[in-house]
Every structure is written in structure tokens, then in C-alpha cells.
Chains A and B, each alone.
Chain A
Amino acid sequence: MKKLIASLLALSGAWAMGSRAADAPAGTVVSNTVNMTYVVGGIPLSDHASANFTVAQLVNVTVSWQNTSDVAVSAGAVQQALLFKVTNTGNGSDSFRLADTVVTPGGTSFTPAGCQIYFDTAGTGVFDPSDVLYTPGSNDPSLAQNAGVNMLVVCNVPNNAVDTALGEMKLAATSQTASGPFGTVNNGAGVGGVDAVVGTTTGVSNSTGIYQVHQVAFAYTKTAVITAPGGGHQPVSGATIEYTLTVTPSGSATAGNVVITDPVPANTSFVTGFGILLNGSAVTPPTGDYNVTTPGAVTVKLGSLAGSAGAQVVQFQVQIN
């Protein structure tokens, strides 16, 4: 029995070291025993007395948004997650009722839609099909002292959300043991029937997470200049047509794997001697090719293209048969 107690103490010691603070757990009986030794008529005697009390439950909770920066989303995206952590910062087990609300930020904003709260069951910090839906009053997270749980607020982004618009969601957690002004006592409501007292967090905590729309759009123009063999601009047989394709990205996102494909018109031939120019410089496979990536077409692979990259100009020539 003694061994068992010793190992339990060792465990609790390790646990206390690992926790945020070594708050005495609710329900702990703290005992004070005083001893007195003295001498009466040459005879040594001793005496003792003791008193004790029980540690009450301090109710505290902390909600904190976990994403390190605004969560990038695009218009029309579904099931986009904000990651929050709910931590029981009190000194006894407690369960927490969660609620999410839309916050309207200043400036350009959008309203997250169809929001639901999920447990981050898969542990990825983003929404996964295996994440368990939270239903208030049904599966309120129950947390031991200093324990935390990761929760996701999962929303859809409206189709009309514009680039750089912000969307904000607040997640609030309320102790089911006690809440109200600091110092409010809920007699006997704590673990093991001890009194529960509302701590500095008032038994309620909330945190706001932020989405930001990041997308990229492309403007596209194509011009043709005809040069006839005699020097005129008539589209006669043997005339050369020089095409200039201009792709201009805009927006705060970066598009990946951008490819420009332009078919060479019927009854014309690609001018190999001119080749393909990208921003004035000749490009060769794999960046640019004719009739390799796409039969009968000019293909230029721009790769990743930021909205801020500026106009991308592709030039090539064909000759009218």
C-alpha cells in the first residue's frame, strides 16, 4: 500500500511539473498538524492538534485562436476551418458549452456562412471528414485541470467575397460548473461536491479567428499585326502574322501552374525562325513549345504567378499558307 501511495505521489509530482501551474486540485484535503513537546516536573511530554480544509474549485477557461496568421480562403470555398484551443485553466474537471458568432470587422469584409463547430478529431487543424460535429449540450467538451481540446469553426465563404476581404468568427466557451462575475460561488457544484467559485475569466472566454480572401484574376488580350511580302498589311498568302498575347494577373494570391495555350490558325504555319518570346526573351521546351505539349498550338508554362507579377507578354509568328 505504501508503495502504491509513493508511486501515486511521484505521478502527481510529474504531472504538476508538466502543467501550466501547480494549482492544488479541487477537492484536495489540506491538513495542518501541529506538535508540541514540553517538560512538566522533569517529565518530557508531547501533544498535537490538527485542522484541515478542502480546496474549492476555481473555475477558469481560456479560448485562444491557434492559426498563426489569417486563414487564406477563396470566394465560394466550403468547409474552411479556423482552429481554436479551449483550455480548462481552473483546478478541477469542468465541461464547457461552446458557441460561435459572426464578427463584422471594419473595412472590406464578408460574412462566413453555414458555420458549424467541430472537434479537430483528425488533429490536422483543418476540416477533415472524420472530425466530429459539436452539438451544444450533447457533447460539450469535458476537460481535466489544465487540459485543452482543439476545436474547429468551419464555415463557407460566399461566392461574392472579394479579394482581401476579411471574415471573422468568435468562439466562446462557458463553464458548465459556474459562470458569472469574478467571485460568484456555486455552492457544492464543484468536483466531489466542493464549492465552485468563478475565477478571473468569469467562467467564460472567447477568441476571434480571421479568414482572408486571397485570389488572383487574369486579364487577357491578343493582338495581331500582319506584314505582307510587299510591305503592306493585307492577309495574303505568304504574309506574316505576329501575335502578341498579354496576360495580366491581379489580386493578393499566387496562382500555380499557369499555362497559356494558343492554337495556330488553320491555313497558317508556325514560324520556327521567330520562335516564341516571353517578355521579349526566347523560350524553349519545357517552358515554351509549338506542337509538343498541345498539337497545333503554342504552349507557354508560366508556373507560379503572383497577382503582383505584372503583365506577361508572349509573342510568336505564323505565315499564311
Chain B
Amino acid sequence: MMKSIRIAIGFALLSGWALSAPAADQPGHVKLQAVGYYQKLTVGKDGTKHTETVPVDHVLPGTDVTWDINYEIIGNQPVTDAVITDPVPAHMDYVGGSAETSKADVTYSVDGGQSFNTPDKLQVKNADGSLRAATPKDYNVIRWVIRGTLQPGAKGTLSFHAVVQ
């Protein structure tokens, strides 16, 4: 009896945590957040079209989604060697050049994160085993190596675009 109650409480706590998970977690030094949004085209009853920026919720194939990665130093100690990696989500194609930023050195992986390189050096294998230059659609992980030290209170946003397949 006691055991089953504990399990029930455990699930409740876990699901409550899962609901708030997309916002961030709180180890005490850095607040990290991922947010997706896109330009939604709406057609009025009179046929006029206009776009608005809306958070991702239900999104159609072909939609260009902007992923923002927000970070903030919330502790009172400086942070060094900050590296952010983001696997390009399944069912999405990375939009070439969209992750580039002056805040970080950006490299990409075409092997699931085992190795990273700049676009000009990335190669993938053809079906016949020969190598060809990788295209942005081949990138499956993006890595930002943030330059310098992040002081307490510092915040920034990295972003990239990917299109829903």
C-alpha cells in the first residue's frame, strides 16, 4: 500500500518536472533555454495574407523554424570553456549559414557528433563509397565554442534555422 502511494507521488513529481523542462534546468550557474518559432502565414477572410512570428506548436512540412538557444550566467562565478552543441532535430534540415555568429566558433558534424569541422572541410560518403563535399542537409550536429569568459549576469542567444521535412 505504502509503496504504491510512493510510486504515484514519484510519477506526479516527474511529470511536473517534465512539463517545465523546456524552459531550463537550474544547476545554479547557467540558465539554458531552447525556443522555436516561425513566421506563420495567415490568410484573412478577404484573402489578404500576413505573417506573424509565433512559437512552434503545430508546424507544417516545409516550414522554416528558427531555434533560439538562450543562455544566461546566473551564478556569481565566471564561466569559461562554454561549448554548446545542438543536434539538428530529426525530420528537420539545417539551413546553411544560419548558425554562424561572431560570438562563437561554429563547426558542424556529419557523423552524429563524433567529429566537427568547418563547412569547407566536411565530407560525406556517396553510396559507392566515394567522398563528396557535405551540404547543409548533411549536418547533424552544430557546435558553438563561445569565445572568452562569460561573466556573472552575461546573457546571449545563439540561433539556427532548420526546415521541417
Contact = CB atoms under 8 A, between A and B. Distances in A.
Interface of A: 22-24, 28, 30-41, 44-45, 47-56, 58, 91, 181-184, 194-195, 197, 199
Given A47-B27, A55-B61, A184-B43, A39 B89 contact: no
A32 B140 CA distance: 12
Interface of B: 21-25, 27, 29-30, 32-36, 41-43, 47, 49, 56-62, 65, 67, 69, 71, 75, 77-87, 89-92, 150, 164-165
A interface majority secondary structure: strand
A38 B83 contact: yes
A31 B162 CA distance: 12
Given A40-B79, A47-B29, 11 more contacts: A31-B89, A32-B89, A37-B82, A38-B79, A53-B36, A53-B56, A55-B59, A56-B60, A91-B61, A181-B43, A197-B60
- State the 4 A-B residue pairs at the shortest beta-carbon distance, nearest first: A53-B56, A56-B58, A24-B91, A195-B58
Nearest to B143: A35
Nearest to A195: B58
A40 B87 CA distance: 24
B69 A53 contact: no
Given A30-B92, A32-B34, A51-B34, A39 B58 contact: no
24 contacts: A23-B165, A30-B59, A30-B89, A33-B87, A34-B34, A34-B86, A37-B81, A37-B82, A37-B85, A38-B83, A40-B75, A40-B79, A47-B27, A47-B32, A48-B32, A49-B22, A51-B22, A51-B35, A52-B36, A53-B58, A55-B91, A56-B58, A56-B60, A183-B49
Contacts of A181: 43, 47
Contacts of B91: 24, 28, 30, 55
A209 to B, nearest CB: 30
A56 B59 CA distance: 5
A194 B57 CA distance: 10
A49 B32 contact: yes
Given A49-B24, A183-B41, A183-B42, A38 B58 contact: no
A180 to B, nearest CB: 9
Nearest to A9: B90
Contact of A22 (B78, B81, B83, B165): B165
Contacts of B84: 34-36
B89 A40 contact: no
B34 A50 contact: yes
A50 B90 CA distance: 13
A36 B90 contact: no
Contacts of A35: 84-86
Contacts of B60: 55-56, 58, 197, 199
